[in-house]
Structure 1
Amino acid sequence: MNMMKPIGSVKKLWSYPVKSLLGQTQSEVMIEPRGVVGDRRYAIRDVNGKLGSGKTTKRFQRIAGLFELQAHVDGDQPVITFPDGESIREGDPNMDLRLSDFLGQKVTLVKEQDRSHFDEAPIHMITTAAMKWLKTELPSSVIDERRFRPNIVIQTNGDQPVEHYWVGQRVHLGEVVLEVIGLTKRCVMTTMQQPQLPRDPAVLKQISQGADANLGVYAKVLKPGKLCTGDHVEIAERF
């Protein structure tokens, strides 16, 4: 038998139209089996076929300068804004040339095909309790959810990463139902400089020492639907 336990509400919703670029906040999003509609649907690809990221793996290549670019969706097309204020829409013949010039290497903007652009899972969530814990441990650091690139920020009580205890459980957010499938392993991206956020190696060091390098959780979609800021969040506890 399952009993529903209230745990908070949806504080913020984020999507990242282009992987590893700065994202956008939204008051409501549609959640589909793939995740937030439009999230990381596009990516920047280098000449070796790797996708631009803040880290280097078999699939991804760290490319300096990605966090200086802002992406948002207009209709169903991503628009990339450069630090000088210039904005270019996907499909513009100057897009790849402008990106290549800015990033100092030949790149192309590509749409997701057969393989997902996600690192691990469709949805990434973090709680205000987890960020409060980190801020308590690092009072001199600027702790902001943008360092962690979540889709959903959940307002909840506490001062510990409470979401780490949700793995294997179902979370109901408004009309959407998610299943938490794992912890989010953190990397150097959490330390990188962004607008209004300085570079800060202490962030990753504290997460590594105090939480085994995990902060936040990954989830898959069990029931799609519309999700809005302010929606109630409950967890299905098994008895």
Structure 2
Amino acid sequence: MDDGTVLGTVERIWRYPVKSTGGELLFEAEADARGLVGDRLYAVRDADGKLGSGKNTRRFRRMPGLLRLRSRYPDGVVAGVPELLDADGVPAPDATACVRRHLGRDDVEVAREEAVSHFDQLPLSVLTTATLDWVRAAVPGVPVDERRFRPNLLVRTPPGTLPFVEDLWFGSTARIGGGSLRVRFERSSERCAMVNEAQQELPHSPLVLRAVARGHDMRLDALATVAGPGRVRVGDPVRVERAVPPAP
């Protein structure tokens, strides 16, 4: 991989205003050191201070069903509490009331990020169509699109690109589009049962995580940090700016 190589083009941009809910599809978005502006800025928080997620950890508490909700910023403007859409796609006037009703519990609220980060790992997730196509082939009969893996950017790679090409990007820096946005690819996400969960048009299936476990040791995508803030748009090329030096 040489400096200047075009890795692909941005096909879709996703932002998830409330962590662990379905997100909003954007044509363009601003990115700063934290990631896409407004991404996972809010989360469902319980009385113990744990954040709703697909897994149980020191910071997170598994809350099945959150993916059946979707979140968005009205008119795309990151200001105030995001709007939630219930399982039928109907906007809810009160986000916390919607979550409490949906989960059947009154000890949760939709809360803005404070001292504890809402990100599981790094701020930006990038997935290629080559890897997504591999997953589809590995689980025939199971509806699969990028929403199962919750990337911020889905990058369309050239024909013939091998799956898991993201692994080759780690340690490199890329420029997205013709502006100032630069990202550094660091490592991949370790996947959990959330990829199996049901959401709009995607039924529950344990086969998805099993396929990722067998095919790529539970890892899938490229996690990145923002090396230079800027704007990303659908159709932007993703071009290597500084490649990983070849092994001696």
Residue 127 of structure 1: CA displacement?
0.3
Question: Does structure 1 residue 120 correspond to structure 2 residue 121?
Answer: yes
Distance across 2 between alignment mates of 1:102 and 1:15: 22
TM-score by length of 2: 0.90
Say if 2:86 and 2:98, in contact at 8 Å, map to a contact too. no
> Structure 2 counterpart of 1:137, which letter?
A
Distance across 2 between alignment mates of 1:40 and 1:170: 24
Distance across 1 between alignment mates of 2:200 and 2:43: 21
> Structure 1 counterpart of 2:194, which letter?
M
Runs of 4+ in 1 over 4 A off after TM superposition: none
**Judging changes above 3 Å, is the alpha-carbon distance between structure 1 residues 136 and 84 closer, same or farther for their aligned structure 2 residues?**
closer
Across the two proteins, how many residue pairs are aligned to each other? 234
Say if 2:84 and 2:98, in contact at 8 Å, map to a contact too. no
TM-score by length of 1: 0.93
Say if 1:132 and 1:159, in contact at 8 Å, map to a contact too. no
Aligned counterpart, 1:200: 205
Post-superposition CA distance 1:166-221 (Å, at most 9, x none): 11111221131100111111110111111110111111001101101111011000
Mapping of residues 1-239 of structure 1, within 5 Å: 3-74=3-74, 75=77, 76-77=79-80, 78-88=82-92, 92=94, 95-105=95-105, 106-157=107-158, 158-174=161-177, 175=179, 176-235=181-240, 236-238=242-244
Post-superposition CA distance 1:3-61 (Å, at most 9, x none): 21111100100000000011001000001110000000000111111101111111111
Unaligned runs of 5+ in 2: none
The structure in which a higher percent of residues are strand is 1
SS at match of 2:183: strand
Residue 102 of structure 1: CA displacement?
2.1
Unaligned runs of 5+ in 1: none
> Structure 2 counterpart of 1:237, which letter?
A
> Structure 2 counterpart of 1:81, which letter?
L
The alignment-based identity, stated in percent, is: 36
Distance across 1 between alignment mates of 2:90 and 2:163: 41
